[in-house]
Structure 1
Amino acid sequence: MRNISGTPLTIIWDLCAFVDSTGRSQGVKISDTPFSDIGKPVQSTLVISRAFISEVIVPLDSIIYDEEWIVNNSIPKEARQILTIELTTEQQGRQTTYIFTFESVMAIRGVLVEGGTFTMGDTWEEGDSNEKPIHKVTFAYDFYIDKYETTFQEYDAFCEDTGRSKPYDTAWGRGARPVIDVSWNGATAYCNWLSEKENLPKAYDSNGNLLDKDGMITTDPSKVVGYRLPTEAEWEYAARGGNKSKGYKYSGSDNAGDVAWYDSNSGKRTQEVGKKEPNELGIYDMGGNVWEWCSDWYGVYSSLAQTNPYNSTIGSYRVWRGGSCANDVTFLRVAIRRNGSPSSKSYYLGFRIARTVFEFTL
């Protein structure tokens, strides 16, 4: 969230306003320990990275009250909407109301994936050779990944706005089904279009390189502000459930039928997104339905531990992840990986988008 109240806020106490998924107040409590920066002014732009997940951290120019604080208004469900938080106290019959205004910077559909460390690759020792060697991966940043695969409805809007031809749906239907018949180049063009729509720096240049907030080429995804495809490591970490992982073979379960559309239950056709159960993070369809493009060039794994990995070494193919509705259950494992030319398209290949949690002032 971005503070657009016009004046800096001053932190006096660490106050936490807990808000449920609908944006309704669940009450607020004051911590027992003073904030470490007590009395220091906060810059007029303040980013609250988890505002769309479970809480809003609100610094107040106030004193400690024994009564409960009340939070009104709901969290915006789309980027660039305005949220006004009203905090009201009553003490000895006297009410005081504090009003702070914030602007949302990430749509509600993005699921927060907190940084951490995991073992990437064939941890069950039953996968393909390209899933080895297993290796440690650490994320020193948080990122958002879409709860759902990008749909025809969303991609068609991009095509209409840019004058592109709409991808073929194989007569299976459009709307809330995952978009198919889209190349890596088409998927990254969609990401750049979405970034421009929200006045964010583009994530890709014309050659497919990642760009930082200043438009300079970078190989560190933590420095990319705009919407982008997840890196291969981000994709697998999110599919495994991030730091909430229960170690499932498929994304969200050891029973593929609970969480995935594949050849045994889909009729070998895509299905509307979000109809199966989500994984531990609340992300849907990370196994089956459609393969998903990732940002990386395809390459062989190293056994060395890595931090914020992204394969920028130019090759012939970009990474696919997740399996599809036409594959059998062995292709639904969270470690499975395939690849294709950046210009290639398939009836069983789509994508979902991601974005780094980035404290950025426009």
Structure 2
Amino acid sequence: MGKFALLVGVSEYKHLEEKQQLPNAARDLEAMRNVLEPAELGGFEVACLNNPDKSTLEIAIYNLFTNRQKEDVVLFYFSGHGMRDKQFNLYFGLSATQQDQKAVVIPPTATDARYLHQQIGNSRSERQVIILDCCFSGAFAKGLIAKGEQAKLDIKPDELGGKGRAILTSSTSTQYSFAHEDSELSIYTHYLVEGIRTGAADLDSDGMISADELYRYTEEKIHQESPAMSPKFYPVQGGYRITVSNAPQGNALVQYRKAVLEMVREDHEDIDFIAGEFDVINRATLDEYQLSWGVEETEAAAIETEVMKPYRLRQEKLKKFEVIVTKATQKKADLRERDVKKLRRFQESLGLRDEDVAQWIPAEIKQVTQAATSKAPKRETEERPKSFTEELGNGVKLDMVLIPKGRFMMGMSDDEIEKLVKKYKWDGFRREAPQHRVDITQAFYMGKYQVTQGQWQAVMGDNPSEFQNGDDYPVEQVSWDDCHEFLEKLNPQTGKSFRLPSEAEWEYACRAGTTTQYYFGDDAEQLGKYAWFADNSGDKNIDSSEIWRTDSGNYGKRILGNNCRTHPVGQKKPNQFELFDMHGNVWEWCEDDFEDNYKTPRTQKSFVGSGDQKVLRGGAWAFDPERCRSAIRDFNSRGVRPDVIGFRVVVTPQ
């Protein structure tokens, strides 16, 4: 078994203007080498190419993937210009690469990303990591078909992590990447390197940094600094668990860094990032940590500065924007449509979204913006369609509905929980506490229905379900890992980034603005109009709550004895967001790791590490009304395939 890495940086472009040169790329290359090569970190045998010509690069790619063994880990990294042809296929820009007058790449002068696809597919290595720090890098995943993906790999945890592929990209298929204002590295590579070098990307503190942990750490940091930039992650099969690097454990500096990270993450509204000052309580807490863990004052200060850096840079960008808006609006008579366009361009150069700068936009600018955009094509950031349909082939469709931004109270109150615990003598209800507010800051699309057997068949080519009674029945007997395989095939086909919902997104979408036990109210007697559950999913109507309360030992036998089962999706009444079967039919996997309470408050982002237990929401055909409520939480191991578990997908608009 070996670990092999090819790192490529292209900083000089003969046919591009001075402002389009990328001096950071050469430094990116060296920084990645410094964390991937040392035995105590990445442990890779590293080859570096700085400004290679096309032939040299393609031979190096060929050699990287050829003659590898199954257990080898192979990593390819590219920092430079990503370019596209007329069909929007991705090319890696090289020093001699040329473009036409419309900035479309001239193909013979660049390396086609499909050549890399080909070498990846031909390699025997079962652990492949691709990291692309370039514009349009998300396009790399489109059309990439996994080698032997019809067969399921035997994925077992070991020192190398999972088997498969992990594709990490700095941007979407349509997006430019951003430079880093306060570093010699690109923003994406800066946080990749930081996560490995400091061990901060070891989210579950197991001493290893997996591909998904590295992505999640980097994505969070970039979102803090430049929220308009959208790094992407495309794992194939078990690729999300491939170990990229070791991480130090038991180190006081690592321990202190993680404490600061958690504090900043939870209390960022109370911190002055420009001045670099914590509030009094957090400052006192950190001082105690520093003393008890033996962290030198200079070391602590350096860690705090580094952790707060993305927040500080974002605040500085917002301040810049505020100053420019103020100057631009001092003379209202001078405000023109072209001024608004200039402001928009300045906003985009800072990597800020519309919602980030909304507080700085006075009414007169908003009016001009509306007038200007009414004459121009709609931008991606403007009003989105309330739904869309994805064609999966052979007439199979995936219907998605828009879930707007908002806030809600997640979980249930202590009083309501204790009533349920007392009545049913089951402590599992306490998983729903403490109740807390969650802000859904970004709109997203969610599947109108649970993923059906027909949709699964269209994407995966098989049907694992126990109840194979029609294409419109929900797919079940799919594990959390199986769902990720489905997404790994779906995303390259569609060019989108479908995913599992976070637990917070799921409950927000289920509630659809309600605060009651169910999305229609508190009366469980009405549940049959909205859900398939144990009372109505079998041959006869039964009282499953009473069975559970008085005869729990025979609950399963009595439910199965009534021939309870799944039913076609969409037959019951939807909620206010037009989502069907959010209560019952099948439990739905969420992306999150399971914890038995909300002591760590949830956000829109998934609560994840690399844990085995994953969250389930919504209840199922075999469960009583109390376990089909909006707030109900359950869990199971990521690899199990019961006939009560399915899923639905979400996608964040770009």
TM-score past 0.5 threshold:
yes
One-letter code aligned to 1:251: Y
Instruction: From the superposition, tell whether residues 50 and 290 of structure 1 become closer, same or farther in structure 2 (CA, over 3 Å).
Output: farther
Contact persistence 1:158–1:190 (CA under 8 A): yes
Distance 2:505 2:628 in 1: 17
Distance 2:384 2:528 in 1: 33
Distance 2:480 2:375 in 1: 41
Distance 1:295 1:306 in 2: 13
Contact persistence 2:337–2:369 (CA under 8 A): no
Instruction: From the superposition, tell whether residues 286 and 117 of structure 1 become closer, same or farther in structure 2 (CA, over 3 Å).
Output: same
The counterpart of 2:466, out of the listed 141, 165, 169, is: 169
Contact persistence 2:477–2:642 (CA under 8 A): yes
TM-score, structure 2 normalization: 0.36
Q: Secondary structure at the match of 2:528?
A: helix
* Deviates most, 293-302 or 118-127: 118-127
* Deviates most, 273-282 or 310-319: 310-319
**Equivalence for 1:58:** none
The counterpart of 2:400, out of the listed 110, 133, 147, is: 110
1:122 aligns with 2:412: yes
Contact persistence 1:140–1:307 (CA under 8 A): no
The CA deviation string for residues 297-337 of structure 1, in whole angstroms up to 9 with x for no partner, is 11133356554342113322011111001111111111111
**Equivalence for 2:623:** 327
Instruction: From the superposition, tell whether residues 51 and 40 of structure 1 become closer, same or farther in structure 2 (CA, over 3 Å).
Output: closer
The counterpart of 1:199, out of the listed 495, 501, 515, is: 495
**Root-mean-square deviation over aligned CA pairs:** 3.2
TM-score, structure 1 normalization: 0.62
1:237 aligns with 2:527: no
**Equivalence for 2:455:** 154
1:139 aligns with 2:440: yes
Q: Secondary structure at the match of 2:488?
A: helix
Shift of 1:158: 1.6
| Larger-Rg structure | 2
The CA deviation string for residues 46-96 of structure 1, in whole angstroms up to 9 with x for no partner, is 326644328xxxxxxxxxxxxxxxxxxxxx74469xxxxxxxxxxxxxxxx
One-letter code aligned to 1:264: D
**Equivalence for 1:259:** 530
**Equivalence for 1:53:** 386
**Equivalence for 2:6:** none
Instruction: From the superposition, tell whether residues 154 and 129 of structure 1 become closer, same or farther in structure 2 (CA, over 3 Å).
Output: same
Shift of 1:182: 0.5
Contact persistence 2:432–2:598 (CA under 8 A): no
**Equivalence for 2:514:** 246
Instruction: From the superposition, tell whether residues 37 and 264 of structure 1 become closer, same or farther in structure 2 (CA, over 3 Å).
Output: closer
Contact persistence 1:191–1:227 (CA under 8 A): yes
Distance 2:373 2:623 in 1: 57
1:286 aligns with 2:582: yes
Distance 1:176 1:166 in 2: 12
What percentage of residue pairs aligned between the two structures are identical? 31
Gaps of 5+ in 2: 1-101, 103-335, 339-365, 421-428, 539-563
Aligned residues: 252
Instruction: From the superposition, tell whether residues 304 and 184 of structure 1 become closer, same or farther in structure 2 (CA, over 3 Å).
Output: closer
Distance 1:299 1:277 in 2: 31
**Equivalence for 2:637:** 341
The CA deviation string for residues 135-181 of structure 1, in whole angstroms up to 9 with x for no partner, is 11111111111110000000011222xxxx530334x5131000011
Q: Secondary structure at the match of 2:368?
A: coil
* Deviates most, 144-153 or 120-129: 120-129
Q: Secondary structure at the match of 1:36?
A: helix
The counterpart of 1:316, out of the listed 612, 621, 632, is: 612
Instruction: From the superposition, tell whether residues 199 and 42 of structure 1 become closer, same or farther in structure 2 (CA, over 3 Å).
Output: farther
Distance 1:155 1:312 in 2: 25
* Deviates most, 137-146 or 36-45: 36-45
Contact persistence 1:270–1:289 (CA under 8 A): yes
One-letter code aligned to 1:133: P
Q: Secondary structure at the match of 1:109?
A: strand
The CA deviation string for residues 206-236 of structure 1, in whole angstroms up to 9 with x for no partner, is xxxxxxxxxxxxxxxxxxxx10010111000
Instruction: From the superposition, tell whether residues 112 and 316 of structure 1 become closer, same or farther in structure 2 (CA, over 3 Å).
Output: same
Contact persistence 1:294–1:319 (CA under 8 A): yes
Distance 2:504 2:604 in 1: 8
Shift of 1:195: 1.1
The CA deviation string for residues 270-314 of structure 1, in whole angstroms up to 9 with x for no partner, is 010000000111100001100000011111333565543421133
Gaps of 5+ in 1: 1-5, 13-32, 55-75, 81-106, 201-225
Distance 1:246 1:168 in 2: 33
Q: Secondary structure at the match of 2:590?
A: strand
Shift of 1:45: 8.3
Distance 1:315 1:42 in 2: 50
Higher RCO structure (Cα 8 Å, ≥6 apart)? 1
One-letter code aligned to 2:465: Y
Greater helix content? 2
Shift of 1:249: 1.4
Distance 1:79 1:354 in 2: 15
